[in-house]
Structure 1
Amino acid sequence: MSATCLPTQRRTGKANRPNYSVKHHRHGLHVLALTDERGRLIWISAARPGHTHDITAARRDHLLAHLRPAGLGSLADLGFLGLDDDPDNPVVVTGFKATRARKLTPGQKDANRALAAGRVPVERGFAHLKNWRILTELRTDPARATHLFRALLVLTNVEATTDN
């Protein structure tokens, strides 16, 4: 599982900054996605304004409520740290975060490296989605953009299967 802020054009009008992401310093739409182990996108969430945090979007989409009963798990980045509240049976596996006061142990660093290696296909799936240049010209609200993202999900999977 991963999340990204897909860049879009600035919307004009009365409320001209609803999709602005301060973190990325650009206008965009926030999207969650699940991929399989080969990096093919299998699910895209509804588009949200660019300023939406990863955990907020995952909770609004009830992601854990869908993954846990299905027996599925997910490798996630540090943006999802604290999402899964069940340490005995984690569904969302995140890395370890260092602070100024607490440095990572060598074992935690090795675990982060292994997680990063397992997340490579996830990032490749997002790269296929971001290759659609039509997204940079998008000037619409998140509700309408969701239909476009889901259509691009289908086209990306068709394109990925023809490449292999």
Structure 2
Amino acid sequence: MNIIETALPGVLIIEPRLFGDARGFFMETWNAAAFGAAGLDLAFVQDNHSRSQKGVLRGLHFQNPGPQGKLVRVASGAVFDVAVDLRRSSPTFGQWTGTVLSAANKRMFWVPEGFAHGFLTLEDDTDFLYKCTAPYAPQSEFTLAWDDPAVGIEWPVTGAAPLVSEKDARGLALAAVPVFA
């Protein structure tokens, strides 16, 4: 696999090895030994799958306490995927990085613990899959406002505003969320 570092230390774009022929393709999306050899010694406890129409924005979610590392990918469709550094001691605190994940490019995105995560769907019927290092804990979940000017994410929104859930519409500003040490 090919690992690409982003502007935020620890957040990685992962390109799996693809084996293709006239029948289609095969790729490993998780292999503990291969990821461990690449420095990603991870233990996943939960897999999630969401489907969204074009223009849906989910996030920016995180848990504190009980932070989740997330290995995310798209099985159909496309998203603009974002991680925001919420580690106060980090030199990149409050900064974001984003990348396009799609069924076509088959890239994965590693979002470590201590980051908020969200995505904007770019196509209808987008299937988004992610593996988590900690179980979902609704009592510890927070939402960083997707449109907080202090973070300044440049979402590729065209036309109408993105469709967000009530919970995500009530997201908090960076100055108000419980950040990590």
- Fold shared, TM-score > 0.5 on shorter chain: no
- TM-score (structure 2 length as normaliser): 0.24
Higher helix share: 1
Computing the radius of gyration over CA atoms, which structure comes out larger, 1 or 2? 1
Q: TM-score, normalised by structure 1?
A: 0.26
Q: Which structure shows the bigger proportion of residues in strand conformation?
A: 2
